[in-house]
A and B are shown apart, each in its own frame.
Chain A
Amino acid sequence: MKESVVLKVNGKSHTLTIDTDTPLLYVLRNQLELNGPKYGCGLQQCGACMVLLDGKAQPSCMITAKSAKVHVITTLEGISEDESSIHPVQEAFVTEQAAQCGYCLNGMVISAVSLLNENPNPGDKEVREGLQRNLCRCGTHSRIIKAVKRAAARQ
Chain B
Amino acid sequence: MKSTRRDFLKLSGCLTIGFSIGGISPEHFSPLINELPESIKRYPNINSWIEVLANGHVRIFTGKAELGQGIRTAIAQVAAEELDLEMDNVEVMLAETERTPNEGYTVGSGSIEQSAMAVRFASAAARMKLTELASKKLNVPVEEIIITNGKVYANNGGNSLTFADLLEGKQISGNVPPTVALKPRQKYKLVGKAVPRDDIKAMVRAEHVYVQDLRFPGMVHARVIRPPSYGAALKKFDEQYVKKRVPALLKTVRNGNFLAVIAADEHDAIRAQKSMAFSAVWSSPKMITDSEKNIKEFIKKQPSQPERVHETGKLSVESFTHTAQYYKPYIIHGSIGPSCSVALWDKEKLHVWTHTQGVYPLREAIAGLLRIPEENIHVKGIPGSGCYGHNGADDVSADAALIAMQFPGRHVRVQWSREEEHAWEPYGSAMIMEAAATLDGAGKIINWKYDLWSDTHSTRPGGKAENLLAARYIENPLTSGDKGYSGGAVRNSQPYYTIPNQQINSNFFKGPLRVSALRSLGAYANIFAVESFMDELAEKAGKDPFEFRLMHLDDERAKAVVIKLREMTKDQQTSPGTGLGIAFSRYKNSAAYCAVAALVETSPDLRLIKMWSAIDAGEVINIDGIKNQTEGGMIQSASWTIKEQVKFDGKRITSADWGTYPIFRFIETPEVEVEVLNRPDEEALGAGEAAQGPASAAIVNAIYKANGKRVRDLPVM
Binding site for B on A (CB under 8 A): 19, 22-23, 26, 29-30, 33-36, 38-43, 45-46, 48, 75-77, 80, 86, 90-91, 93-94, 97-106, 109, 127-129, 131-132, 134-145
Contact = CB atoms under 8 A, between A and B. Distances in A.
B517 to A, nearest CB: 16
A109 B267 contact: no
B624 interface: yes
Interface in B320-335: 333-335
B68 interface: yes
A11 to B, nearest CB: 16
B386 A103 contact: yes
Interface of B: 67-70, 194, 196-197, 199-201, 203-206, 208-210, 212-213, 215, 265-268, 333-338, 383-388, 415, 417-418, 624, 628-629, 631-636, 639, 657-659, 663-667, 669-672
Contact of A45 (B201, B631, B657, B664): B657
B667 A76 contact: no
B206 A35 contact: yes
A143 B206 CA distance: 19
Contacts of B196: 94, 97
A132 B386 contact: no
B657 A41 contact: yes
24 contacts: A22-B267, A38-B210, A41-B657, A43-B418, A45-B657, A76-B205, A77-B205, A86-B204, A93-B204, A94-B196, A94-B200, A100-B70, A100-B629, A103-B384, A105-B203, A129-B667, A132-B665, A137-B386, A137-B636, A138-B388, A140-B628, A141-B666, A143-B631, A144-B666
B201 A97 contact: no
B139 to A, nearest CB: 46
Contact of A138 (B636, B657, B658): B636
A131 B669 CA distance: 11
A53 to B, nearest CB: 18
Contacts of A80: 205
B336 A48 contact: yes
A86 B657 CA distance: 34
A76 B210 CA distance: 15
A104 B203 CA distance: 10
9 closest A-B pairs by beta carbon, nearest first, are A101-B386, A101-B68, A139-B635, A139-B632, A100-B68, A36-B206, A103-B385, A102-B203, A41-B418
A138 B665 CA distance: 12
Contact of A97 (B388, B628, B657, B666): B628
Contacts of B338: 39-41
A85 to B, nearest CB: 11
A102 B212 contact: no
A132 B666 contact: yes
B665 A135 contact: yes
Contact of A103 (B337, B628, B671): B337
B386 A138 contact: yes
B337 A97 contact: no
Contacts of B334: 137
Nearest to A128: B666
